[in-house]
Amino acid sequence: MKEPGTNVVNAAIIGASGYSGAELLRILSTHPEVRIRRVTAASSAGQRVDALYPALAGQCDLEYEELLPEKLSDIDVAFLALPSGQAMNIVPELKAKVPRIIDLGGDFRLKSPALYEQYYKHPHTAASLLESAVYGLPEMNRKAVASATLVANPGCYATSVILALLPALEHGIARGQGIVINSLSGVSGAGRSASVEMSFAEINENVRAYKLLTHQHIPEIESVLGGAFGGALSVSFVPHLVPLTRGIYTTVHAQLATNVRASEVVTLYQQYYATHPFVRITNSIPQILSVRGTNYCDIALYVDQRTNQLIIISVIDNLVKGAAGQAIQNMNLMFALDETTGLR
């Protein structure tokens, strides 16, 4: 493991003016082993970071720049916090300049270019890199992440769902068919761009479902869990927007495959995640306030004997464990740091 204070990691954040980019800045600015060298944002080039995000005053004195790959030769890791469809256009050139890349968007999460085009609504321009990209869920791919040069950070909804279901599917407690998932998300998950439907008047005192049957995290959830499960997997996933800034609240219903007591399921999950510091199995009903601003995922488990169902509730902060925090957790693994560094 890397000795503290030696060989500081030089980082760049590409697309640093959005919510995920700002969260990366917030966490990395106090990370003891990282120096943020460059932050790029085409629309904010020339503006100081603390002018756009006053909360970072005194923590970050950088200016946003335009992305010029030739200026990244001194960078050890680049975080890409860009809208869907942008990372794939710059990663091929970036790989020649930067040894480690972590993409917080969805461009490298799916192995199938056809599936990507179906759900993201545009063709993939760097399909040759899909197979080599490592899916960056540390609780599942810790060793692969450590040696990766391109990490696809998981989607926020997908993180909450996969962590909830992984032990039950791997150990044959739950069936892989007919899984029903309802997730509630704060509006920061939609990004920082202005739109009428994301305005205060539309969101406040309101709850609405969106992207029914078409959400891009559906194939991500099914392909990742299907690989772990070793068989076909089908989920019914309905995301909802709720009047919160940040947080995801996920409830999963899965048919039990064995006769099992709730206490046995809890024990299984506690053992499964015993070596994973950011997953907490709780005996109380989880709440978003318990994970807000942290890299934790809290999970509670219930067995409904009447309907023969396993009910799982998981909560995360969509900007931390669902985005920037998980990306930094992956970076820590890639540079042989304790994976909790800067995240406690």
Mean pLDDT of 64-85: 93
pLDDT of 6: 53
Cα–Cα distance measured from residue 193 to residue 17, given in angstroms and rounded to the nearest whole number: 10
Residue 124 has pLDDT above 70, yes or no: yes
Of 59-73, 200-214, 247-261, which has the strongest mean pLDDT? 247-261
pLDDT of 177: 94
Q: Taking a C-beta distance cutoff of 8 angstroms, is the pair 312, 254 a contact?
A: yes
> What's the pLDDT tens digit per position in 179-193?
999 999 999 887 666
CA-based R_g, the chain, Å: 20
Residue 117 one-letter amino acid: E
As a CATH number, domain 157-318 is: 3.30.360.10
Residues annotated as catalytic are 156
Question: Residue 10 forms beta bridges with which residues?
Answer: 35
3-state secondary structure of 308: coil
For the chain, the domains span 9-154+322-334, 157-318
Q: How far is CA 16 from the centre of its chain?
A: 16
Mean pLDDT of 133-146: 98
Task: Look at the domain 9-154+322-334 and name its fold.
Answer: Rossmann fold (3.40.50)
Token output for 68: 């010029």
Residue 1 has pLDDT above 50, yes or no: no
